[in-house]
Amino acid sequence: MRTTAIAHANIALAKYWGKANVADNLPAVPSLSLTLDRLRTITRVEVIESLEQDEITLDGVRLEGRPRERVVTLLDRVRNQAGISAFARVTSRNELPTAAGLASSASGFAALAMAGARAYGLSLSDTELSALARRSSASAARSLFGGFVALEAGKESAERVAPASVLPVSMVVTLTAKGPKPIGSTEGMLHTAATSPYYAAWLESAPKLYDEIRHAVLAGDLETLGAAMEQSALAMHASMWAARPAITYFTPTTLAVMARVRELRSAGTPAFYTMDAGPHVKVLVKSTDADRIAAELAGVAGVESTLVAGPGPDPRLDEGVEV
């Protein structure tokens, strides 16, 4: 059986950082994201009786080592549930830069869960697919839904909070550097929890910021959302900066983009930044302002490119799409 799925990346407005349970990959704090239209992963899974092991290709390159193992682990869970032992050929393409803090694992594992479950004959609900994706990458649980999506602390699966129409916003994604991130998110979270005296403060403040962000989304209040979103991102990064040794994803360009966003705001344009496990800056703006702000941020020294992403839809199966 052969199945292809398309899933979209999401960017957390209220950040997830830290695990309540490492073995089950359950988040220690609630998070809330916006799914994005322009950033997506397309994944085809073919179950082939004659294969002696899984064959996994991402963007034309055969995966080996840890990245391969993470895919095989998800497929093993699906095989167990389906009672089928045959291996699969997985072909995947990212329409976004991989492993640079641009949520490639979110769209990647969401697409893999959807295509993999179906290819092995399972009919799972969105909630079950979200739980399957979450075991591989908690942020991937959120990519099983379009619009604004929440994953509560300790919960198995994400749920939609509101459709994108509650707040007409876009993300200006500012790419500030090439190359992979210095430390992966799982390792970074465990290191922060083990060594940062600010981790406890993060665990205390994250749920409050999440509540504020959730209410602001539902109220369509971009100003409150933006202020709380910036605080969530910086509180998360502060917990990492206080780890030993520190985890610092920011570059001078990251800080320069943040400064430019604050200037735009002082000049009257609502624009708010957020940063994940990488140096790029994602700027939340009114959709009507997005192209103008993208052009402004493209002019900041060190910025390599910008792209505008609007709210994205649910993932879907699509047998016609090219991989």
Residues that bind ligand PMV in the complex, under the rule CB under 6 A: 12, 15-17, 31, 105, 137-139, 185-186, 276-277
Q: Are residues 154 and 137 in contact, defined by beta-carbon separation less than 8 angstroms?
A: no
- Nearest approach in angstroms of CB 123 to ligand PMV is 26
- Nearest approach in angstroms of CB 246 to ligand PMV is 16
| Complex with ligand PMV: residue 105 or 306, whichever CB lies closer | 105
| Complex with ligand PMV: residue 139 or 253, whichever CB lies closer | 139
- Nearest approach in angstroms of CB 292 to ligand PMV is 27
- Strand partners of residue 178: none
**What element of type H or E holds 186?**
helix 185-195
Tokens of 217: 């989304």
| Complex with ligand PMV: residue 70 or 260, whichever CB lies closer | 70
CA distance readout (Å), 218 to 52, 112, 160, 222, 307: 50, 30, 12, 10, 26
- Nearest approach in angstroms of CB 143 to ligand PMV is 10
| Complex with ligand PMV: residue 87 or 210, whichever CB lies closer | 210
- Nearest approach in angstroms of CB 161 to ligand PMV is 14
- Rounded CA separation 111/104 (Å): 11
Give rounded-to-5 percent helix, strand, coil for the chain: 40, 25, 35
Residues composing the chain: 323
- Nearest approach in angstroms of CB 301 to ligand PMV is 25
Is the CA virtual torsion 66, 69, 71, 74 positive or negative? negative
| Complex with ligand PMV: residue 116 or 188, whichever CB lies closer | 188
- Rounded CA separation 298/106 (Å): 26
Tokens of 109: 């594992």
| Complex with ligand PMV: residue 3 or 185, whichever CB lies closer | 185
Residues in contact with 75: Cβ distance below 8 Å, sequence separation at least 6, in sequence order: 45, 54, 87, 88, 90, 112, 116
Strands 88-94 and 55-58: parallel
- Nearest approach in angstroms of CB 281 to ligand PMV is 13
| Complex with ligand PMV: residue 158 or 300, whichever CB lies closer | 158
